[in-house]
Chains A and B, each alone.
Chain A
């Protein structure tokens, strides 16, 4: 059974004072998320990621189309027992402490009274907030709020966890922690559906991704497949500037720092390149498939993005 199945989902918003002008939020989106996978929803701001999540959460009603979660219609209260949701830039009741908030959400999710306080303590420990459990949320930093947000999304042990931009606004350490958290949730067998505009996060975590642009699905598949399609590039680092002309001849872009040269070139010429470096007597330091390959795929799918930014 698929965890999430979206078919033909569209959403048109009305804007303006008299709700006259129409704005399309989502156009005929269909996709399927399998149980147990980490699925990333990629796109720039306003691409329709949050709209999709809101429709799945029953916060917004689709104009047309339908979606099921774990085989049930969205909006079915039974479904909501089995899902957790972290909104974008979450904000919680200021006046509550972290422990009180989790307690309240555990109540609403139907967690049994006797296991509630244990669960709360467990979750706080899991997101590293045990020491701040008695602090009111108004004193929390953005990163701490994000962690509370994750804790509340998983306190009732949902089968699917929906995360809207879980890494945004976090420092590098925070991002790594969240990544690890997502990874461990997936290791426990939970399905993860998350949206992000940070490609490296998606690349690091996702089994599959969907790319959305202006409300439309532009591509979907396994990350490696997608990047292969776009002809992944490789980064070669070597010591010895004498090899540079050969590398450049092969189409490599070089950057020099002292004696060290960093060249980026297409994966198909890697072998030739390594050979020519060795021939010149330069010292090969490393060969890495490029991290930004998804970004390239992204850009290849969305040629109009730059144009838009310029206008």
Chain B
């Protein structure tokens, strides 16, 4: 079982790397270089803040696009193009396939994020000429972004376990947007009454909550993040991904492959 998971994960990683990740990294590098050049022309002192914000946002956006597109591409597409048939005709359980895919995608995203993070620090170094202790929280911000990717990838796999690739992409992206505005959903829940309030509150727990994971602005201002936040965010990401993946397995185990 472990062997098969590793094989599927490795193949997923290989496909992702060969297919898209490189372009993604090149685009990110270009963006950062451009931004660094531009930022140098804006007022001194603000450039670091702007660069960190921009860099972290770019990592998020690029990563989310990658999570959704390869997440869906590699699961829905296998169903759609029937490459899955020859896999499932072997002693591979369906849940092994999903989990293997997830692990492979996660590995891809970690590597991808690592390179983007290196790029961000390089850009920072070129703009500020030195790195200091206060730059360390950026790593935490990047870690939180990675947690977001874990959740979004699990959600993408959940959607592709029962939907078409296009719908899966749209749904997953919608989940990312809703998750990013989860605080506003709470605000809405707080303001509404009766049954609407109950539904809104239930929704705040059902959709992923990224509000606590977006710490770009705090980090840019050098705010220290409590250790407990790191711990709880980690737990939340694990639980939420686990939830999405279990649901995906439940659906996928009974699915008729067209």
Contacts and interface: CB of A to CB of B under 8 A. Distances in A.
Interface stretch (B49-57, B78-86, B132-140, B237-245): B78-86
Interface in A102-122: 104-105, 107-110
B4 interface: yes
Most buried by A among B82, B85, B90: B90
Contact of B90 (A54, A60, A80, A86): A80
Contact residues on A (Cβ < 8 Å of other chain), bracket = 20 to 34
A107 B89 contact: no
B88 interface: yes
A169 to B, nearest CB: 15
A91 B83 contact: yes
Interface in A148-175: 149, 152-153, 156, 162
A93 B89 contact: no
Contacts of B92: 80, 108
A84 B91 CA distance: 11
A77 B87 CA distance: 12
Nearest to A80: B91
B15 A59 contact: no
B88 A92 contact: no
B86 A105 contact: yes
A87 B85 contact: yes
Contact of A60 (B7, B86, B257): B257
A78 interface: yes
B14 interface: yes
B246 interface: no
Interface string B228-258: 0000000000000000000000000010110
B257 A77 contact: no
Contacts of A96: 11, 14-15
Given A54-B257, A95-B15, A95-B19, A108 B82 contact: no
- Say what secondary structure dominates the interface of chain A: mixed
A104 B11 contact: yes
Contact residues on B (Cβ < 8 Å of other chain), bracket = 20 to 34
B245 to A, nearest CB: 20
Contact of A92 (B86, B89, B254, B256): B86
B81 A85 contact: no
Contacts of A153: 86
A85 B83 contact: no
Most buried by A among B15, B19, B89, B93: B89
- Say what secondary structure dominates the interface of chain B: helix
B86 A77 contact: no
A140 interface: no
A48 to B, nearest CB: 15
B18 interface: yes
A199 to B, nearest CB: 25
Contacts of A149: 86
B3 interface: yes
Given A80-B89, A108-B4, A108-B90, A91 B82 contact: yes
Contacts of A61: 254, 256
A58 B88 contact: yes
A90 interface: yes
B82 A87 contact: yes
A77 B7 contact: no
Interface in B190-243: none
Interface string B83-117: 10111111111000000000000000000000000
A60 B256 contact: yes
A108 B91 contact: yes
Given A57-B85, A91-B83, A107 B19 contact: no
For the complex of A and B, list the 6 residue pairs with the smallest distance between their C-beta atoms, beginning with the closest.
A85-B89, A107-B7, A95-B18, A59-B257, A87-B85, A77-B91
Interface of B: 3-4, 7-8, 11, 14-15, 18-19, 81-83, 85-93, 254, 256-257
Interface of A: 13, 54, 57-61, 77-78, 80-81, 83-87, 90-93, 95-96, 104-105, 107-110, 149, 152-153, 156, 162
30 contacts: A57-B88, A57-B89, A58-B89, A59-B88, A77-B91, A77-B93, A80-B89, A80-B91, A80-B92, A83-B89, A85-B89, A87-B82, A91-B81, A91-B82, A91-B83, A92-B83, A92-B86, A93-B11, A93-B15, A95-B14, A95-B18, A96-B14, A104-B11, A105-B86, A107-B4, A108-B4, A108-B90, A108-B92, A110-B91, A152-B86
